Structure 1
Amino acid sequence: MPKGFPITVTLTAQELSRVEAAPRQYKPHELTWIHRRAAAQGHVWTEEELRERGLPLYWSKAWVAEQLAQGHSHAEIAINAGGYQVMAVSRHVRHVHGFEFVQQLSPQEQQAIRQRIAEGATRTQVMQEFKLSEFGAGRYFQIEGALKELELRFIQEADRLRWPASREDVSRILFEGVKHRADNWATERIKRGWLLRVKPGVYDLGPQAPRLPAPGVEVHAPENEEL
């Protein structure tokens, strides 16, 4: 057959940058290999890294903890993570992250449990007050611990920036100049109410941003009991 005419496609520098920055698509066996290799090295996945590389969000324990704290079921988490199989996500949530399934409570009940944990209530007290099993109460202590870790990391990141901070500042100081990582970071924290977009490319701390307690204020850390 005769060959067709060659086609030349010209991209601007900005278009080429977007193409190069786009996360790749992985085959199932590639995902398995990546996860096993990371687990063997003790790697802890963050939401930003997973989004940047186009990997399943449910690999992040902190992200799953936040989804559970919002009352999402395993099916909803599978959808929010990128449309993965529910059974695979459910096994990962239970066996890898250690979050056992418990009866879903109302947002008000979940907030009341978190408040009691923040006040220093023990697991036994939470079990008795909210009629939860040992596993059920333990899950809320796990979730609270993971969210506290995420909040602490944000406090440390925010302390490195001068507010209001520009997109360029966030990129340069936190992500070695990689701007799409800075964009992902800012987008997720705006959703949580931790940041405000005061104008295009400029952010400030939001009203719900985690902050270190004032000197002299007692802080109760969540229990670190084994399930």
Structure 2
Amino acid sequence: MSHRTTFTNGSSLAMLAVLVACGPPADLEVEEQAIRDISAQWSAFDEARDAAGVAGLFADDAVLVWEQWPPARGVEEIEAHIARAYLENPSGEGSFAPDRIDVGSAGDLAVEQGTYDGPAGEGRYITVHKKLGGEWNVIADMSVGTARSGNAPEWAVQSLEQWYQAYNGRDAEALADLYTRDARVGDAQGRAAIIGRFRNGWAEEDDRCTGSYDAFQLVGT
């Protein structure tokens, strides 16, 4: 098992998945099956101990986050992480399986959730997939040990509502106020760049967004 292992430290982690639906409708059943096929392919690569095969499922700028290891960014680092995991688990013990896949209505963004078990214990994982150049790519993968979960707190719900209100109201400055000063949105970093990115996007396409919290977990103490 190459990933989705158990957190053993006491650090705090806030994890949330937000699905944003913009643009024309897509055949969501077809796209969901495509994500399931990728998950099955990942599992097959794991069984074959094929680190390069797993890394090839990721986008060039993807990120992989496992406990007690620094985040791996990019295909080369991700492959090295996975190869190291294979060396540390020579028996290949472990498995994982998705139990929920949500695809945005535009059919180009999906969140896969599931469970895993391995030498370090059991837990849950979240994998974010994005369609790039017509092909699905993993852009982020994260796993945590099984922990309590619940509804999103009121402050988080309000923040999300403010984001949609500002976006659909075409208020780029109000949107930028919701980000930290050094935040990054796509290739834009910082308040001025974020404002420009949203305004340029609206000039190219007059879309509207809706969404809700798919999951909200507080892990650790």
- Specify the TM-score bucket, using the shorter chain as the normaliser: under 0.3
Larger relative strand fraction: 2
Q: Using structure 2 for the length normalisation, give the TM-score.
A: 0.26
Larger radius of gyration: 1
Larger relative helix fraction: 1
Q: Using structure 1 for the length normalisation, give the TM-score.
A: 0.26
